[in-house]
Amino acid sequence: MTPSEIPDRDGPRDECGVFGLYAPESDVARLTYFGLYALQHRGQESAGIATAEDGHIMAVRDLGLVSQVFDEQKLRALTGSAAIGHVRYSTTGSSAWENAQPIYRQGQHDVALAHNGNLINAVELHAELRDQGVTFQSTSDSEIIAAMIANHPAATIQEAIADVVPRLEGAFSTVVLTSEGVFAFRDAAGLRPLALGRIGDRYVVASETCALDIVGGQHLRDVLPGEMVGLGERGIETQMVANGQRPAFCVFEHIYFARPDSILEGNRTQVSRRRMGEILARESPVEADVVIAVPDSGNPAAGGFATESGIPRDDGLIKNRYVARTFIQPGQELRKNGLKMKFNPMPEVVSGKRVVVVDDSIVRGNTTRHLVKMLRDAGATEVHLRISAPPIRFPCHYGIDMSTPQEMIAHDRTVDEVAAELGADSLAYLSLQGLYEAIGSDRSTHCDACFTGEYPLERSGDANGKFALEELAVVR
């Protein structure tokens, strides 16, 4: 069964979410379930939880949403003093069951591992390990990290992780479960987020702070780029395990990936996104009668644009929030109305009006083109697109599925050419400078390669595409 082809929003595809905690006096599986429930927006293909009790690791993982994979019975069976969890959207490897996480590996160290990111040297590491006789069950790069740690001869898990991490290239916010507790680490550039929090006397890590909130945790700080944090009976232990790389946090997390109520680098995401809309209104004003958002992603920036421009804001597009996960194919008759299953325009709001449509990004442009036509059909006299991010022109090698450059509408096109392609009366993007102004930071500590083509890591070739390990498995 494959998800239906009803067009989804046109943004980049989400990545993964991780969660981990040590709390022997709590129902760790249940807390992890709710942590993952809060992180569901980061991946909807599979979900999994592993717990550790008396030296044994148990794991349940399957394709589907968190609420589809787990029921009361499965959660009750997952007992233990520590747990990790994962929600997945595949960036390396297909969405097959074997690629669901957490991944379990036995060896010198028995570990379960969950990972958000993408290794750019996965093919080399995979080949090296296979030459050593290591076998793999999956085609995900996460199993490579798990195998390297599990097979490491060091006496302690801390020493094993400290030796393995410098050999990994790319993006990885990772949680590892052992019989001692949870070990969380981030790549030296800190490309993907990882927050550290406290629940009572115990500690918890999660991709985003919204997952700490839901379990009653308090956000303490972020795990630092290159840092390993151990959560166990002694509280937290921390150690720097990688360095020598400038910080390069993914600026797209601020624009799109993170939930609006999460805090990234000290900023509430909803507030930053509103500010992006305000700055966009200053940079690219337009005479119009109403500002509408492409829901939900464009909501905060549309609010900011309306406030700054003084143009009233209304809901001109209504979104059906549940349609993206239907497994029933719409059939020929309905497919031509496919987008209406996702968005429906409100003629009462847009008819006879000059409309500003605010969204946070355009990748391929198919959805946006349909939306423009739909609004005109509903009576809009002018449609002006305002995008609260710069044009996406380059692929991401660090865990985000952005399509190929040829599929990106802004690749090799001027802004006017893109506007013409989309059928809009005008189009403007937020400048890179405006983006950094909105998050109160600058390029020196971020990755913005999908906008600029300037990749922060030394080696960023795209040899390791999403299915690189599957291709390798076929070739070998």
Binding segment (CB under 6 A) for ligand SF4, from list 259-267, 365-373, 392-400, 422-430? 392-400
CB 106 within 8 A of CB 139: no
**Roughly what angle, to the nearest 10 degrees, separates helices 269-283 and 432-439?**
140
CB of 446 to ligand SF4, least distance (A): 7
Q: Is 47 in the site for ligand SF4 (CB under 6 A)?
A: no
Q: Is 182 in the site for ligand SF4 (CB under 6 A)?
A: no
Which SS3 state, helix, strand or coil, does residue 371 take?
A: helix
Long-range contacts (CB closer than 8 Å, 24 or more residues apart) made by 346-351? 346/314, 346/315, 346/316, 346/317, 346/318, 346/378, 347/378, 347/379, 349/290, 349/292, 349/314, 349/315, 349/316, 350/290, 350/292, 350/316, 350/375, 350/378, 350/379, 350/380, 351/378, 351/379, 351/380
Nearest alpha carbon to residue 293 among 284, 285, 302: 302
CB of 412 to ligand SF4, least distance (A): 18
Q: Is 449 in the site for ligand SF4 (CB under 6 A)?
A: yes
Q: Is 252 in the site for ligand SF4 (CB under 6 A)?
A: yes
**253-312: contacts with ligand SF4 (CB under 6 A):** none
Q: Is 355 in the site for ligand SF4 (CB under 6 A)?
A: no
Give the rounded distance of the alpha carbon of 105 from its chain centre: 25
CB of 391 to ligand SF4, least distance (A): 12
Nearest alpha carbon to residue 303 among 316, 293, 294: 293
Distance between CA 392 and CA 287 in Å, rounded? 26
Q: Is 89 in the site for ligand SF4 (CB under 6 A)?
A: no
Q: Is 251 in the site for ligand SF4 (CB under 6 A)?
A: yes
CB of 383 to ligand SF4, least distance (A): 27
Among 29, 49, 57, 250, binds ligand SF4 (CB under 6 A): 250
Among 400, 409, 427, 469, binds ligand SF4 (CB under 6 A): 400
Binding segment (CB under 6 A) for ligand SF4, from list 61-69, 194-202, 410-418, 446-454? 446-454
Catalytic positions are 16
CB 333 within 8 A of CB 344: no
Query: Between 10 and 308, whose beta carbon lies closer to ligand SF4?
Result: 10
Distance between CA 290 and CA 375 in Å, rounded? 12
* Secondary structure element (H or E) that encloses residue 164, with its range: helix 157-164
Number of residues lying near ligand SF4 (CB under 6 A): 11
Among 447, 457, 468, 469, binds ligand SF4 (CB under 6 A): 447
Binding segment (CB under 6 A) for ligand SF4, from list 107-115, 244-252, 377-385, 433-441? 244-252
CB 466 within 8 A of CB 401: yes
Q: Which residues sit at the interface with ligand SF4, rule CB under 6 A?
A: 191, 250-252, 396, 398, 400, 447-450
